[in-house]
Structure 1
Amino acid sequence: MSESRQGSRLVLDVLIYAAARLLLVVALAALIFGVGHLLGVRDFPLVVALLFALVIALPLGIWLFAPLRRRATASVAAFDERRRKDREQLQARLRGDQPPAP
């Protein structure tokens, strides 16, 4: 896979994972805020709902979105491995250990 394709795949996988985590926080905040209103708490602060949603979404998101996290982690690892190989190849050519590729 080419480096630009790996890079775009990396960005896409990480963005999908981050968007899923953010959507989970928003959905939980809306749920908490809605339940507060249903229980008759009209002065329920949105910030409190967001904070509770964030605390709940941290462990829940890791569990719910494990396949997305593994895919993003694999993309990062593949991209990092490619960069490491390119760097080693460049350093070898600079030392003169290896003839330049045509």
Structure 2
Amino acid sequence: MNRILKHYTTKAYFYKNLDKLKRHMMTFVLYYNHQIKLKSLKYQLPFDIITLELERQNSNFNHNPNHMLWGLKMLLFLSFYQQQFGFLNSSFSFS
């Protein structure tokens, strides 16, 4: 995963600041976990494996993974409200 992450983010793009790097990394990890079918998982999505395991053994999870899902729409929503109202702390800077 580290090699793939470096190849598609830090080696492919130049970031002016750390916030832009964090934003692009989060976007790539969301894409990787929800869109790319992995050969090592028999061509299934990583998030699908997690949901199947949740259905099989619910006792392994403290929280439902679907309730903690950060999608791209949520990142855009947070970015909009941060720009409008400035209520988020600096670790969630998306601009």
TM-score, L = length of structure 1: 0.30
**Structure label with greater radius of gyration:** 1
